[in-house]
Structure 1
């Protein structure tokens, strides 16, 4: 069986919220992709409700692309404590953390329901399970705690 880095991480030792590089993989033609852990909630201590994480996923997929080039995907963790961010090439964790902080601030201060893409049956596979209110509350919580650039020590940006 393949070793999956995320399953070797001691989730009891990390201190959320943070941004960390999970891995950078190099392709056969010299291209590289980097997978980041955007952790919002302390593992095994809480989780975001599906409506919040679903709406945050849609908003991050849109708004984070305004700040970081080369985004391939933003996907929620099954444990509902954060997101994978996969990009072409790589950025230092602090660059991603600053972009995330700006995006979460925009969500809290500027975003209305009309700004959330993919919230109807045609464009979303579970369009009824969204909550902008809850997404904003979780964004506020992360901003209040500060986004660290280190998963094991608090180094908020």
Structure 2
């Protein structure tokens, strides 16, 4: 089985909330693709409930694109502690951190959830705008920081 970068990360030594460059790849055409770990919750200590996480995914999908060029995807982590952001780079971790902070500030201003109807969403009943705002506020108050990769 292929190695997975996140399975080599020592989850006991990282300090959420943070932004971490989790990988940089060069495509056969010479494009740089970067993967960022946008961590909201401390691994193995807490996790986001699915409804606020789902709502954050819907909100951040657009808000992060407003802040950064070349966003390929924003996906929630299966452990429910944050998101993976994939971008056409290269970008700097500092730039991604600032964009993530601004996107979280945008979550606080949201009055509705984009793409949350039955036609637009595969689980449209599992959303929580107030819970998403509470997580955004919590992360902003704690302060985002850059995290180096700490491997096993």
TM-score (norm 1): 0.92
In structure 2, the gaps of 5 or more residues are none
Q: Superposed, which structure 2 residues align to 1:54-69 within 5 Å?
A: 54-69=54-69
In structure 1, the gaps of 5 or more residues are 153-157
Cα deviation, residue 151, structure 1 = 4.5
1:142 pairs with 139, 142, 151, which one?
139
Report SS of the residue matched to 1:7: helix
Cα deviation, residue 105, structure 1 = 1.1
Give a deviation string over 1:116-151, Cα, whole Å, max 9, x none: 211011110000000000000000010011001124
Aligned length: 150
Contact (CA 8 Å) 1:18, 1:151: kept in 2 or not?
A: no
- Partners of 1:151 and 1:46 in 2: CA distance: 21
Pairing 1:102–2:99 present: no
Pairing 1:111–2:113 present: no
Report SS of the residue matched to 2:135: helix
Contact (CA 8 Å) 1:17, 1:146: kept in 2 or not?
A: yes
Q: Superposed, which structure 2 residues align to 1:37-56 within 5 Å?
A: 37-56=37-56
Contact (CA 8 Å) 2:54, 2:126: kept in 1 or not?
A: yes
**RMSD of aligned alpha carbons:** 1.3
Q: Could you list the structure 1 runs, at least 4 aligned residues long, displaced by more than 2 angstroms after superposition.
A: none
- Partners of 1:14 and 1:68 in 2: CA distance: 25
Cα deviation, residue 46, structure 1 = 0.3
Determine the structure 1 residue equivalent to 2:129.
132
TM-score (norm 2): 0.95
Report SS of the residue matched to 2:87: strand
Report SS of the residue matched to 2:145: coil
- Partners of 1:6 and 1:92 in 2: CA distance: 20
